[in-house]
């Protein structure tokens, strides 16, 4: 196909066409985004492996009669003739060291009645994610995406280093809260910047290739990095210090041009475009810059004071926002619960985690091939439904036989993880495209905050399996299928002019029905239109 410019005045997308929208500079951004993916996977799932609990039992006393004493996890049973006495552990515990890895649980003896610090700290990690995502999202719309990207990654370093020196449970909980504050923003801000500076037709390819390859690598090797280093302290240090490299992004990554223009900083946006043109070996005509200045003066002034509350001020935009929030809750809870459900299979949790994490790459390959063919709505809804369906199958299998084949349950878990990966990764782009440009930082962060709030329930959902083994699968099946149904009521964004202002967001997709999909073309002016717009104010058309 031949790409041609449609000059409907001047806008950011036309500027990208002049400076290069998929050239050397975009390759540089993709490379840096790959580093962000590696570090994000280490940070998010490192929380799991610093506090992994090995098998343990009471430590024998020197004068114990081993023939009459049975050692349990939190007590020992002494058989004296016909009398059986259960005695609480008072001399410590022996831990299984089959992987030669010492977690903080083992080092601090946080088991039995002292087992609360890791559980509380894990919850406060998500509390930090909620506060951090919301606060940094607001900050991103005030000081810019790039500054918040760097601030968030410094939270990772500060929180994790503080954890290493936390020898009291309260200090440990506080340090995990600080580390949690970085979660999501340390990834999302770079995602937004890369997407805004990339040709629309290459967004799905570039972003999902990075996520599929590098986030997958990160998740697969993170348990073995912990095992290889042997100690939770060295492991936490190893996954923290590389975040200092993100400071160098000040010299390589431009601030969002959309954000700069929306704040009236047109000259700063022009400098960003000139920098891109220099790297891509392009020259910008002075008249093009003058047209961009005129565009900014005419189109941006009226949207300076719009904020997050505006997403709920009109009925259609409020409905879309509420559906996105519900979808985020379902996807986040499903993703986290399925990813952390690694116990009870009769196989090492390190191995199970790596096997399930290996589904990230094929999930992103599916997105690469299908997202721009089926559309965002069909892919997100279909992936959620498949994940819910196989969760239901797993629930039925466990309900019939709680001791069902481990390989069968693992196979069903892998399919669920694969499907939820497709839904989660495609859903991230879907939400960014649906939220109007003027409140994108706040809006997307708020949606992710709601998702992290749902993650609070993940440990409780897994714990219900102690009462009735199929409980987690039943709950996930119901929620995931409901999420799939809710997605049908969102408008398609593929090949559509995306919203810039809140008014655009209210009117976006108003004539679309829940049963209409991008792969079922309705004509040039409908859902199958060939008009493509980068999130915000980018416009390109493709013709044969």
DSSP per-residue codes, 271-287: HHHHHHHHHTT----HH
**What does each C-alpha distance from 480 to 192, 199, 329 come to in angstroms?**
26, 32, 10
- Residue range 414-451, pLDDT digits in tens: 999 999 999 988 888 888 889 987 788 778 878 888 88
If we measure between CA atoms, which residue out of 487, 265, 258 comes closest to residue 378? 487
From first CA to last CA, the distance across the chain in angstroms is 5
Q: What is the pLDDT of residue 302?
A: 56
Query: What is the pLDDT at residue 344?
Result: 60
Given a cut of 60, whether residue 530 has pLDDT beyond it is no
Least confident of 146-150, 402-406, 514-518, 540-544: 540-544
Q: What percent of the chain has pLDDT over 70?
A: 91
More confident residue, 331 or 83: 331
C-alpha distance from residue 163 to each of 100, 129, 175, 235, 463 (Å)? 21, 16, 5, 12, 26
Range from 61-65, 121-125, 232-236 that averages highest in pLDDT: 232-236
Predicted pLDDT of residue 304: 54
Q: What is the pLDDT of residue 542?
A: 25
Q: Using pLDDT thresholds of 50, 70 and 90, give the confidence band for residue 177.
A: very high
State pLDDT tens for residues 31-62.
999 999 999 999 999 988 898 888 888 888 77
Q: List C-alpha distances in Å: 318 to 21, 149, 514.
A: 33, 28, 17
Q: What is the pLDDT of residue 295?
A: 83
Q: Please give the residue that has the higher pLDDT: either 524 or 118.
A: 118
What secondary structure does DSSP assign to 280-327, as a single string? Answer: TT----HHHHHHHHHHHHHHTGGGTT--GGGGGSSHHHHHHHHHHHHH
Q: Strand order of the sheet with strand 69-71?
A: 69-71, 75-80, 83-88
Which structure tokens are listed for 249?
Answer: 């992004």
Is 50 exceeded by the pLDDT of residue 535? no
* Measured distance CA(75)–CA(69) in Å, rounded: 10
Check residue 223 and give its pLDDT: 93
Rounded CA separation 59/36 (Å): 43
Return d(Cα 33, Cα 29) in angstroms, integer: 6
Give the pLDDT score at 184: 84
Residue 238 has pLDDT above 90, yes or no: yes
Q: CA 463 to CA 126: how far, in whole Å?
A: 18
pLDDT tens by residue, 316-332: 999 999 999 999 999 99
pLDDT of residue 2: 36
pLDDT at 460: 77
Mean pLDDT for 360-377 is 88
In sequence order, what DSSP letters do the residues of 8-60 get, joined into one string?
A: SS--HHHHHHHH-SSSHHHHHHHHHHHHHHHHHHHHHHHHHHHT----EEEPP
Query: 0.75 exceeded by the pTM?
Result: yes
By CB atoms closer than 10 A (0-12, 13-18, 19+), residue 287 is: exposed
Domains and CATH numbers, the chain: 1-54+115-299 (1.20.1250.20), 67-100 (no CATH), 303-544 (1.20.1250.20)
Give me the mean pLDDT over the 335-362 stretch: 81
Token pair belonging to 430? 């879907």
pLDDT at 76: 84
Residue among 150, 147, 137 nearest 452 (CA): 137
Assigned token pair, 223: 């348990």
What's the CA gap between 242 and 237, in Å, rounded? 9
Contact indicator for 519, 506 with CB cutoff of 8 Å: no
Cβ pair 192, 257 in contact under 8 A: no
Each residue of 186-229: pLDDT tens digit?
998 998 899 889 987 787 788 878 888 999 999 999 999 999 99
């Amino acid at each position: 196909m031949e790409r041609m410019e449609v000059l409907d005045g001047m806008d950011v997308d036309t500027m990208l066409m002049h400076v290069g929208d998929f050239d050397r500079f975009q390759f540089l951004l993709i490379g840096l985004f790959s580093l962000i993916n590696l570090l994000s996977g280490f940070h998010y799932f490192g929380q799991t492996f610093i506090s992994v609990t090995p098998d343990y039992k009471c430590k024998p006393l020197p004068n114990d009669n081993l023939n009459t004493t049975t050692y349990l996890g939190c007590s020992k049973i002494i058989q004296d003739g016909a009398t059986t006495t259960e005695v609480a552990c008072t001399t410590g515990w022996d831990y299984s060291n089959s992987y030669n890895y010492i977690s903080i649980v083992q080092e601090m003896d946080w088991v039995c009645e002292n087992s609360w610090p890791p559980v509380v700290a894990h919850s406060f990690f998500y509390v930090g994610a909620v506060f951090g995502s919301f606060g940094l999202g607001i900050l991103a719309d005030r000081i810019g995406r790039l500054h918040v990207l760097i601030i968030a990654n410094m939270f990772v370093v500060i929180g994790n280093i503080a954890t290493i020196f936390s020898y009291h449970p309260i200090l440990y909980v506080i340090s995990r809260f600080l580390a949690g504050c970085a979660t999501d923003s340390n990834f999302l801000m770079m995602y937004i910047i890369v997407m805004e500076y990339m040709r629309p037709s290459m967004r799905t390819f570039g972003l999902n290739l990075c996520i599929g390859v590098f986030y997958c690598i990160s998740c697969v090797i993170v348990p073995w990095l912990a095992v290889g280093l042997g100690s939770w302290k060295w492991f936490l240090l190893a996954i923290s210090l590389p975040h200092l490299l993100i400071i160098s992004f000040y010299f390589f990554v431009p601030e969002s041009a959309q954000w700069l223009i929306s704040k009236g900083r047109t000259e700063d946006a022009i400098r960003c475009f000139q920098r891109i043109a220099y790297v891509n070996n392009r020259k910008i005509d002075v008249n093009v810059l003058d047209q961009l200045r005129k565009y900014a003066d005419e189109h941006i002034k009226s949207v300076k004071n719009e904020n997050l509350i505006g997403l709920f001020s009109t009925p259609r935009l409020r409905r879309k926002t509420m559906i996105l929030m519900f979808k985020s809750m379902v996807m986040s809870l499903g993703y986290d619960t399925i990813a952390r459900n690694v116990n009870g299979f009769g196989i090492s949790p390190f191995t199970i985690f790596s096997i399930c994490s290996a589904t990230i790459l094929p999930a992103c390959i599916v997105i690469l091939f299908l997202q721009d063919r089926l559309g965002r709505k069909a892919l997100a809804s279909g992936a959620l439904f498949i994940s819910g369906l196989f969760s239901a199958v797993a629930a039925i299998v466990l309900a019939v036989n709680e001791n069902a084949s481990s390989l069968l349950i693992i196979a069903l878990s892998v399919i669920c993880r694969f499907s939820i990966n497709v839904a989660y990764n495609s859903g991230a782009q879907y939400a960014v495209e649906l939220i109007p440009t003027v409140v994108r930082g706040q809006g997307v962060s708020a949606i992710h905050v709601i998702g992290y709030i749902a993650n609070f329930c993940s440990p409780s959902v897994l714990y219900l399996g102690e009462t009735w083994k199929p409980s987690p699968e039943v709950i996930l099946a119901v929620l995931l299928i409901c999420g799939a149904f809710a997605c049908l009521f969102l408008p398609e964004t593929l090949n559509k002019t995306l919203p810039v202002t809140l008014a655009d967001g209210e009117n976006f997709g108003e004539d679309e029905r829940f049963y209409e999909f991008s792969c079922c073309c309705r004509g040039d002016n409908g859902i199958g239109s060939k008009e493509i717009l980068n999130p915000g104010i980018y416009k390109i058309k493709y013709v044969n």
